[in-house]
Amino acid sequence: MSSALGQGVRLFDVEEAERMLPLIRVIVKGMMDDHAERQALLDRLEGAPSETPRRETRSLRSEIDTLTEKLSEAASELEDLGVEFKGIDLGLVDFPTMIDGELAYLCWRYGEDRIGFWHSPDGGFAGRRPLERD
């Protein structure tokens, strides 16, 4: 399918989207790991006693900033691929597509082997429907 709609939106068919899954999986897994590490560091920083040496808190902030930047870069990489990252907690990624002549999204969640669901633009994860395969 690989066409553009309107303002540069790339459209995917199921086969194209599934060919991208190995790369998407690696990116999303890295994001989920970085997010968990960042959250642990934030928790450490927030729970640090007031007498914690300044260099230690500076170091924690620096690590947090580095992870924040990595997350931003990974999100940009997904965007450059033409997909939409929808949630760090579940590792949700949407692939714009056309279903019955209407814009829709092929919906993939980290841990799923293949793309098995789609939803309308306003349906989101809660509105996922099974994908009918030929």
Residues 99 and 26: their CA atoms lie apart, in Å, by 27
Nearest to 7 by CA among 107, 123, 103: 103
**pLDDT band, residue 51 (cuts 50/70/90):** confident
Stretch among 25-34, 69-78, 121-130 having the lowest mean pLDDT? 121-130
Helix (H, G, I), strand (E, B) or coil at 1: coil
Q: What is the pLDDT of residues 78-97, one digit of tens each?
A: 999 999 999 999 999 999 99
Q: What is the pLDDT of residue 4?
A: 47
Q: What is the dihedral of CA 60, 65, 73, 92, to 10 degrees?
A: 70
The DSSP element (H or E) to which 88 belongs, if any, is: none
Q: What is the pLDDT of residue 31?
A: 98
Which domain does 76 fall in, by range?
3-130
Task: With beta carbons less than 8 A apart as the criterion, state whether 17 and 115 touch.
Answer: yes
Residues 26 and 67: their CA atoms lie apart, in Å, by 16
Number of domains observed in the structure of the chain? 1
